[in-house]
Amino acid sequence: MKLVIAGGGFGGLRLARKLNNKKGIEVLLVDRFNYHQFQPLFYQVATAGLDASNISFPLRKVFQKSKNVRLRLADIKSVDAENKKLITDTGEIPYDKLVIATGAGTNFFGNKELETYAFSMKSTVEALQIRHRLMENFERATIEQDPLEVERLMNIVVVGGGPTGVELSGAIAEMRNYVLPKDYPELDFSKMKIYLLEGSGKVLGTMSEKSSDQALKYLHRLGVTVVTNYLVASYNGKTLTNKVGSSIETATVLWAAGIKGHVPEGITKVEPVRGNRLPVNELNLLKPYDDIYAIGDVAAMVTTEYPNGHPQVAPVAIQMADNLANNLLAQLSGAEQKTFRYRDKGAMATVGRNLAVVDVPKPKLHFAGFLAWLVWMALHLMLILGVKNRLFVFLNWLYNYVTYDQSLRLIFREFHREDETVPV
């Protein structure tokens, strides 16, 4: 069986690892990056807490001893389902079975202004762009004479009150409280506003009421201005306006308010559902195709427990990959395939130093504060690929905890040979 996996995220990488060195199957993993990205910690890269290399791991290193898994660095363009080929920018790739694990990107809900001026955070590169913008804005603020422009440069708006938005706004607030005043003594950080805007009535809407209330208290403690039932209408790079006309002056809008699946072109027999996701059956198969599967954020498996599809989180992608790997091997041996059943182990979010919330469904538990923060750190450390990466992340966290500081507030400018000056 020639299996092609489109995407090296949590689902695609897990599937390739589960099939590593299995007889009777050849695996080709295709991704536009040559590394796996640990998305839950993008916000720490964006706020200078971690280096990008700490949460990235070379894909080829994972399969150095593999006999049947190969990798291809390419941009996926479309699927030629009739001829069973995946079309990429580097050529056509034939397959017997195709697994679409392309994940999801930022959903701006058709608002072209926001797409142009707001920052998303769905890749390591985008997280670095946010870090650079934050640092450059503070540098500009030190020399800006116009008070209104200084206000814009210092104010930061995070849109979306889910885990990403809560974690990002909390991390920025800690920078303002502990780090930035020492770096920029000429600026008055008591005037810097950090807004977290949420379209619904509460933050962490997918978690329990206790977690939502506790997270809100933590955000207020850190000095974040949380505004619920706030629907963004427009943003021109300077002023953000909501549906009823009120506005916020800011040069930085960080968008964490929605995601949509990355569906390659050519899947003509299946109509994407809400969130641009591919509807699959309980074997993760795209009916009426008998050779195309989808897993992770791009897949929508409707069940009685999840009428709108499963949550778009890493554990779902990993468990789908495990089940699909077993089913593909069962096909080779003629054994019976098993339907997918998601085992929800809980949800968590961190707001800041010693501040986190955890929900466990069975037995039904909720806890918050320092213990929840320790659990959050331990789980994320275990999930990061590579002993070296885990060590560096742990050391960075330890250093930040002891010193209340981060050491990665760096601005890398693009260098042009013609700009080089001759030393005298």
Catalytically active residues are: 167
Query: What is the full DSSP assignment across 227-261?
Result: E-S--EEEE-SSEEEETTS-EEE-SEEEE-S-EEE
Nearest to 351 by CA among 370, 366, 365, 334: 370
Cβ burial, residue 341 (10 Å; 0-12/13-18/19+): exposed
With DSSP H G I counted as helix, E B as strand and the rest as coil, what are the percentages for the chain, rounded to 5? 35, 25, 40
What is the DSSP pairing of strand 239-242 with strand 232-235?
A: antiparallel
Strand ordering across the sheet containing 2-6 = 69-73, 26-31, 2-6, 97-100, 292-294
C-beta separation of 372 from 356 below 8 A: yes
CA angle 245, 251, 253 (to 5 degrees): 70
Q: Which tokens is 368 given? A: 């918050």
At which residue do the structure tokens 């679409």 appear?
A: 100
